[in-house]
Structure 1
């Protein structure tokens, strides 16, 4: 058979086969991730869904990194519309996009759930989140039905009286005790001090609670004199205005603590390496 005729027949067969096979995923382009990108922001830029990008790149979670090259499906080939933020996407969860200043603790408080639940449904190994990151929120906890008027901090009453010096001292304790821990752990340290001030078992001021004999290691080793971090100041403020991720704890310690007394107390919460406990 003439080689030219054989080639034409082969080409015709391939074309016919292409019309019979189901359409494969079409890729519009490759995209190189830049700092600040998230799967959600990229999906909005190319008018595709986050799940389409995950499928096209074999990505199971939301973790991407600058310099990574992603295959972007053709927006015309995708069969599902882009998912709107905070819209219910399936039976068990809704989407939330992390904003600057967010923490898992604050998001959990907003949606009436727990840090542990958010970490579980998003397969997170730590509490670290970044602006633009897309999180699943358990739909059972999803509660923003009507807009809520935000009450300014100045219009709210603190849990206990405090001065600027008290706030600074409390934030320095938070920095010394839990500076490298998640935000919820830092709020927890401050909340324990607030709970002690309110309890009849301890002194009735922030300064007296912190400087009570043999209570806090940073007082004895001098770390209490180190300046507070901005995050610790914010954590202290949140506790002073009512945030208490410890569920009323009066004690805290980390996983390296050897005290049999502390380990005998009923645990009320855990964040990072920090453990919070109530009085017996």
Structure 2
């Protein structure tokens, strides 16, 4: 309220995004605090900008996709923050930008706490690739990001899962498991005839037991 009274020119409650400079009047005590921490504040601002720029360049170079919250071709997933996570890591795992995650979740800064559920928008045709990230360990997520080998077999919710590798077919996968056929895999995963497998896709193999 004090800021609004001191800065009546900002009728909508925010400073417009522009290359032109804008001034902001602060109460005397807060102005002193700002001045004492001015270097740290601007350093944080610069680091956030550089983080987003670096992520944007990395995704552009790797062909990564930027999901749009308003796009009909994207699906909402939720990721539960784990100890040691930060927005930079999560953005890399989901091939988006840290600024996207902040926008989707109305985050003003980069601080996130373990246990928090955050929204991630993923292209609909790539959901299978990203759907299992929430269940992976930090090591597995980093290994996949770096193109390193990750264990292809996992268990969850009473089922054995297999993560598809490039060149895999249902017949190839079925051969890796006892008493499993390609027809069983197709039925268990509700796959239509002719549906191609995507590298990184996670499919059910059989009930755990």
- Asked if Structure 1 and Structure 2 have the same fold, meaning a TM-score greater than 0.5 normalized by the shorter chain, the answer is no
Larger Rg: 1
Q: TM-score range by the shorter chain?
A: 0.3 to 0.5
Higher relative contact order (CA 8 A, sep 6+): 2
